[in-house]
Chains A and B, each alone.
Chain A
Amino acid sequence: MTDFEEQLRRLAEGRAELVEPFSADELQTETEAETAEIIPFSPRRWPTAVAAALLAIVAVGAGAFAVFGGPDGGGSGEFADGATVPSTGDASLATTSTVLGDLTIPDVIGDDVDAASEALRDAGIEVELSHLFVTEGEIVGDVVDMIPSDMTTAEGRVVELVVARLAAQTLSTDPCGRQAHLLANFDDDLLVDRVYPRFTDGRITEVEICTGAGLRTVAGGLDFHRLEMATDVDLDGLDDLIASVDAAGFESRVLSLVDEEVIVLPEVLRFGPRGDGTADWWGCTAFSFGGEPRLGVGTITALPDGTSEWTLTETFLLAETDGLRIAGGGTGEDGQGGPAGSARCQPVSDPQPRCAVSDLDVAMLGDVDGDGVADLVAPRDGVVCLGNGTIAALGGAASDAGTWFLDDIDDDGALEVFIGQTTTGATTVRPYSIAGDGTVTAAAEEDCCVQTAPAAAGSSAEDAGRWFSCIGAGVGPDRAAELVSGRFWIDVENGIVEWTHDVGAAASPEATYRMQFDDPTATDAWIPGNGCRSSVGAWRAPAEIEFGDDRVTATAQSIAAFNESISTDDPARRVVRLRDALGISRQLGQSGDSTGPYREDVAEGFFELNGHLDDSVAGTRWSFVFSDDGSTLLSVDRLWSCQPGRGHEEFSSELCA
């Protein structure tokens, strides 16, 4: 044994002595003192006993409320209003179960924690993703109250829905005496506000709101078909109402409540069917959570019973407030929507639709022309809808929409659009630069990355990974090196990425090599000469790269380390990360086992919002912990950073002063 190996042993031994040993007695004390009960909690079943128990709890904690009807007696998960609690998969929210955001759980539980705990456990309710921990006077959801309502994941939405239902069951014992159509937060008084539409000849002509101050009619003279949802559209931190004008929802308007007055914003959100014969819409709205505008894109499906389901499929963070907004509906002759067209995007400041986007699932937002305004990249349509209203056509380059990705390869502040084109036996990934006037410049042939067909499996089981070769040369001003040929493989099982290849004579360790995996969710790139950063979010672990004289070896590192290495002040990059997070999270519910901490090495991604206009909290970070293969969301945490003098300035779960 060499001396430094012995030193390593001494180091481990010395460190172990610096840590206080743990004893079983300590565990017993912690368990009894800190965790009153671990409640299994599940969206799958919702027996009557639960509602009864919760209502009993409310009676204890909040006094005499009227009793809400509660779910049916069969334990099917169906509620009195007809909405059902989804179990797994891509759950969606019924309009009557608007997510409440941060629930004030003590309102639900009251003081009788033991009764709540007992009732839920006896009801056999289980949580798949996490557990609810009942401590003194409150439920602290490891996940439940930490997923912001406008960033819901499939599984998170399930959990939130259940919690929303919890609140609905308990809080809908309405001081105003009726079941609410929507729940919202209009006044930030920590009490759930309720919304009731009032109809005249089948049209909504008034809206009543029940707040902590009581019931009042806050709008008159309106003419709407339906109240769609309550969410913060105007970014003032308080919910607004979105109401549709007609049954098709071609036009929806925002009702903003300011100083107890309702203002119908001039801005029109347009929704509409996509012409496939089904009553689904693409819709959009701007969400606010922490001070930066965001764009949610999803489908709204009308149900036979007249209600609708909203499925948020994408959430984008806009680079600038004057970003893009995506509107649904077709591009009919009037240009304002119709049954035969596709979703459209438009600059916020310009009500005129600018750009047709047929498939928002694969659309991406990022600043491709470097003007600081987010642009919409629409692979399926082969276009980039620039924030300045110009449309750049990439139709001739479009092939497989799934191969598109964005990256600022030359560090000029504008993202290049990378597009894969498959020819016989190989896929060439080519970067395109787009100017503000819509001019598209394609990279030269030698600047492209070529992905060959998978090679034969190697000699070991780990060779079950995919093989590619990559050629990159002269991309950017300092990238003179050339990678002549090579191959690498990904061991999907354990996330290890290793690749080796020969390096041409002109190569240098500072060379930039780019590659793209055939799996779009694994799209990644390395720029070892620039801090080994990865500028495209990837859920496979990115590599640390070692350069030898004739060999390049890349070994996986943790996503956490990967995130550490990425600048977080670039909104476009955060968009990518968030988008990937949601993309992965949509797989939730399809995994057979999503409980328990025993996992492959976890991968962690996070999404940050900084620069809060708040005198206490400076930033918020949601941290997503995935299993290493990205298939399972293990947990979501919310952390805060504080303003100077108001507590910790690093992100922490501790609240700011």
Chain B
Amino acid sequence: MNGDFDEFVKEVEPVLRRALTGCMPQHQVHDGLAEAFTYAWEHWDEMGEIERPVGYLYRVAQSKTRSRKQGFLPWKGDSAIPEVEPELMPALEALPSSQKTAVWLVTACGWSQVDAADAMGITPSSVSTHVARGLDAIRQKLGASA
């Protein structure tokens, strides 16, 4: 391993780990990270040419782990996370997958719409639409106001 790669992992790993928690079972996230960074290492020369490597590796992790269960899934540890409305997770889970992913990446993980669009393979405007619709649906379900 070279120093550049180590730095790359340190920078990208927390962002990627957080994003993957929204689309994989808990026990698969670490495997997804391993798959993504293995790929990054094997293609290290090409990684420098990728404009948004996080989004790229997000998709690598998903395609390499190939979990049959996709999308936002309940985790056993969810209930231990403080100050989260219990109905929030079911509301998020009930969203269509594109909305769910967009809301998770943009709202929960703080990704830009451009990054999320790259990870989802759609346009930023579509991400914007999905986020708006998703949040609106959650808002209605939770009875919250905008």
Contacts and interface: CB of A to CB of B under 8 A. Distances in A.
B1 A24 contact: yes
A11 B81 contact: yes
B33 A22 contact: yes
Interface string A220-251: 00000000000000000000000000000000
Interface stretch (A92-100, A315-323, A593-601): A593-601
Nearest to B142: A4
Contact of A604 (B5, B39, B66, B81): B66
Given A2-B144, A561-B70, A16 B59 contact: no
A102 interface: no
A19 B142 CA distance: 28
Nearest to B103: A8
B107 A8 contact: yes
Nearest to B35: A597
B122 A12 contact: no
Interface stretch (A50-58, A551-559, A584-592): A551-559
Interface stretch (A27-35, A83-91, A474-482): A27-35
B35 to A, nearest CB: 8
Contacts of A564: 68-69
A397 B14 CA distance: 60
Given A15-B18, A637-B66, A27 B97 contact: no
B122 A496 contact: yes
Give 7 closest A-B pairs by Cβ, nearest first.
A14-B81, A15-B21, A22-B33, A12-B108, A8-B108, A555-B96, A16-B18
Contacts of B60: 597-598
A15 B89 CA distance: 12
Given A2-B139, A11-B108, A496-B126, A24 B63 contact: no
A556 B66 contact: no
Interface string A619-631: 0000101001000
20 contacts: A2-B135, A3-B144, A9-B108, A10-B81, A11-B89, A15-B77, A15-B78, A19-B20, A21-B17, A27-B1, A27-B9, A30-B34, A30-B38, A461-B123, A555-B99, A556-B96, A597-B60, A597-B64, A598-B56, A598-B60
B97 A558 contact: yes
B97 A556 contact: yes
Contacts of B35: 597
Contacts of A634: 63
Residue among A24, A563, A625, A635 with the highest chain B CB neighbour number at 10 A: A24
Given A18-B26, A556-B97, A4 B39 contact: no
A494 B96 contact: no
Contacts of A635: 66
B9 A557 contact: no
A568 B104 CA distance: 31
A615 B91 CA distance: 43
A16 B82 CA distance: 14
A201 interface: no
A601 B9 contact: no
Contacts of B10: 24
Interface in A174-223: none
A27 B75 contact: no
A411 interface: no
Contacts of A496: 98, 122, 126
B51 interface: no
Interface string A268-301: 0000000000000000000000000000000000
B121 interface: yes
Interface string A31-48: 100000010000000000
Nearest to A556: B98
Given A12-B18, A604-B66, 9 more contacts: A2-B145, A22-B9, A24-B6, A596-B43, A597-B60, A601-B120, A602-B66, A628-B121, A637-B66
Given A8-B92, A15-B78, A24 B126 contact: no
B88 to A, nearest CB: 5
Mostly helix, strand, loop or mixed at chain B's interface?
A: helix
Contacts of B146: 2
A656 interface: no
A19 B92 contact: no
Q: How large is the interface on A (under 10, 10 to 19, 20 to 34, 35 or more residues)?
A: 35 or more
A602 B59 CA distance: 9
Contacts of B22: 12, 15
Given A4-B142, A12-B108, A623-B66, A20 B99 contact: no
Given A3-B144, A4-B138, A22 B71 contact: no
Given A13-B18, A601-B59, A560 B84 contact: no
B110 interface: yes
B83 interface: yes
Interface in B15-73: 17-22, 26, 29-30, 33-35, 37-39, 41-43, 56, 59-60, 62-64, 66-71
B109 interface: yes
A462 interface: yes
Residue among A7, A38, A604 with the highest chain B CB neighbour number at 10 A: A7
Nearest to B19: A12
A494 B145 CA distance: 32
Interface string A438-480: 0000000000000000000000111000000000000000000
A2 B75 CA distance: 24
Contact of B78 (A11, A544, A558, A596): A11
Contacts of B38: 27, 30-31
B37 A22 contact: yes
Contacts of B19: 12
A118 interface: no
Given A21-B17, A27-B37, A494 B26 contact: no
B94 to A, nearest CB: 10
Contacts of B78: 11, 14-15
Contacts of B56: 598
A557 B96 contact: yes
Contacts of A9: 107-110
Nearest to A2: B144
A530 interface: no
Contact of A597 (B20, B39, B68, B107): B39
Contacts of B42: 38
A9 B53 CA distance: 22
Contacts of A5: 107, 135
A519 interface: no
B71 A561 contact: yes
Nearest to B80: A14
Nearest to A601: B121
Contact of A24 (B37, B84, B104): B37
Contacts of B85: 4, 7
B1 A25 contact: yes
Contacts of A546: 96
Residue among A7, A19, A601 with the highest chain B CB neighbour number at 10 A: A19
